[in-house]
């Protein structure tokens, strides 16, 4: 019996970076994404920014979200048994544009080909691996095209992620039996699975076998990817998917957490990747900013309001958009 619930595709991808300014510049000024929300991490005792980048309205599957940890001094270590690469979709014909743009910004990159797609591999200033994937399939997501990137070449959002594993079988079981995914193919040490349905995006979960690499860290720390959130669409379906996975024996699943703009449960997968099942609230990002003002305020959740003075100690960010309050 397959999972009686469903996954749509990716909801968002979340990672720990170094400085807030270099992260903002990388996503907004280089990759041409929109800064759709500036808020703080809801967990923990110290204020940490939570910066969201994506399409004009920050639609699910376009979202990249960053915790800048350098000011707090928390370092992570990349390795195996950990999420390794953030893969972003562009139209197949736009890879050349991105190669030229990375050159223009002096970002070292490598051309690769994997699973029938042309790719550009490069790194965030904090060291996290990114890949731009030329997706030959049509993509219905609205291109944003900020920072002078023509809309036709704009990053459409997530293609998926790559997880570094010691051996592929346990994670393969989790993806196919737990998430209802399908193995698309294998090329040497690389394996590609597709999850989600025809309405979703960011549906490719890839594994790379790296058995001799030391273990990567899982705590919040600069330079590491923290989790891959999948879109469960509704509260009811989130519960169904979660219960099915628990029934397979993956019982280390969190409670449902209110993230302000969406509700989340987290589970550690056997390949080391932290997987989140999320569903957006009806208001989503418009709960504290209007459509035209997305990304132009420091949005502090109600339970952090008494700590506004501490939050104001976070490093200032020079932004493209005017930020008030």
Q: Which residues bind Fe ion (CB under 5 A)?
A: 14, 229, 276
267's CB contacts (< 8 A; 6+ apart) are: 242, 245, 250, 252, 253, 254, 274, 275, 276, 277
Question: Would you say 64 or 317 has its CB closer to Fe ion?
Answer: 64
Residue 136 CB, shortest distance to Fe ion, in Å, is 29
Question: Would you say 14 or 296 has its CB closer to Fe ion?
Answer: 14
Question: Would you say 11 or 70 has its CB closer to Fe ion?
Answer: 11
Residue 180 CB, shortest distance to Fe ion, in Å, is 20
Residue 68 CB, shortest distance to Fe ion, in Å, is 16
Question: Would you say 14 or 87 has its CB closer to Fe ion?
Answer: 14
DSSP symbols for 281-318? -SSGGGGTS-GGGTTSBB---GGGGGGHHHHTTSPP--
Residue 227 CB, shortest distance to Fe ion, in Å, is 6
Residue 162 CB, shortest distance to Fe ion, in Å, is 18
Question: Would you say 98 or 263 has its CB closer to Fe ion?
Answer: 263
- Both tokens assigned to 205: 């979960």
Question: Would you say 56 or 257 has its CB closer to Fe ion?
Answer: 257
Question: Would you say 189 or 287 has its CB closer to Fe ion?
Answer: 287
Q: Is residue 80 within 8 Å of 210, Cβ to Cβ?
A: yes
Question: Would you say 13 or 133 has its CB closer to Fe ion?
Answer: 13
Plot region of 6 (φ>0 → left; ψ -120 to 50 → alpha; else → beta):
beta
Helices (H) and strands (E) in the chain, counts: 5, 16
Strands 204-209 and 157-165: parallel
Residue nearest to Fe ion (CB): 229
Residue 254 CB, shortest distance to Fe ion, in Å, is 11
Residue 316 CB, shortest distance to Fe ion, in Å, is 25
Distances (CA, A) of 63 to 14, 71, 202, 226, 273: 9, 23, 10, 14, 18
Question: Would you say 40 or 120 has its CB closer to Fe ion?
Answer: 40
Helix, strand or coil for residue 214? Answer: coil
HSE-CB of 212 using CA atoms within 13 angstroms: 1
Residue 39 CB, shortest distance to Fe ion, in Å, is 12
Helix, strand or coil for residue 222? Answer: strand
33 CB burial (10 A radius; 0-12, 13-18, 19+): buried
Determine phi and psi for 45, rounding to 5 degrees.
-105, -20
Q: Is residue 32 within 8 Å of 97, Cβ to Cβ?
A: no
Residue 191 CB, shortest distance to Fe ion, in Å, is 24
Helix, strand or coil for residue 8? Answer: coil
DSSP symbols for 53-113? EESTT--TTSEEEEEE-TTTT-B----BSEEEEEEEEEEGGGHHHHHHHHHHTT---EEEE
């Amino acid at each position: 019996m397959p999972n009686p619930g469903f996954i749509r595709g990716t909801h968002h991808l979340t990672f720990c970076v170094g400085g807030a300014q270099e992260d903002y510049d990388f996503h907004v000024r280089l990759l041409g994404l929109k800064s759709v929300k500036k808020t703080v991490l809801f967990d923990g005792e110290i204020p940490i920014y939570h910066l969201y980048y994506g399409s004009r309205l920050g639609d699910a599957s376009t979202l990249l979200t960053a915790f800048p940890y350098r000011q707090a001094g928390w370092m992570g270590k990349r390795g195996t048994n950990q999420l390794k690469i953030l893969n972003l979709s562009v139209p197949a014909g736009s890879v050349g544009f991105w190669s030229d743009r990375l050159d223009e910004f002096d970002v070292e990159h490598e051309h690769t080909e994997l699973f029938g797609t042309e790719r550009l591999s490069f790194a965030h200033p904090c060291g996290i691996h990114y890949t731009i994937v030329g997706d030959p399939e049509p993509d219905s997501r609205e291109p944003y095209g900020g920072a002078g990137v023509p809309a036709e070449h704009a990053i459409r959002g997530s293609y998926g992620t790559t997880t570094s594993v010691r051996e592929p079988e346990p994670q393969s079981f989790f993806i196919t039996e737990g998430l209802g995914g399908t193995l698309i193919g294998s090329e040497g040490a690389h394996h590609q699975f597709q999850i989600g349905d025809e309405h979703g995006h960011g549906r490719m979960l890839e594994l790379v076998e790296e058995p001799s690499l030391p273990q990567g860290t899982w705590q919040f720390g600069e330079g590491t990817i923290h989790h891959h959130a999948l879109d469960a669409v509704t509260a009811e379906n989130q519960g169904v998917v979660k219960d099915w996975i628990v029934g397979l024996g993956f019982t280390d699943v969190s409670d449902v957490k209110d993230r302000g703009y969406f509700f989340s449960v987290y589970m550690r997968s056997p390949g080391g990747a932290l997987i989140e099942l999320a569903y957006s609230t009806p208001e989503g990002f418009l709960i504290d900013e209007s459509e035209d003002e997305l990304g132009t305020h420091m949005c502090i959740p109600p339970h952090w309001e008494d700590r506004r003075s501490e939050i104001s100690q976070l490093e200032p960010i020079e932004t493209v958009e005017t930020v008030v309050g």
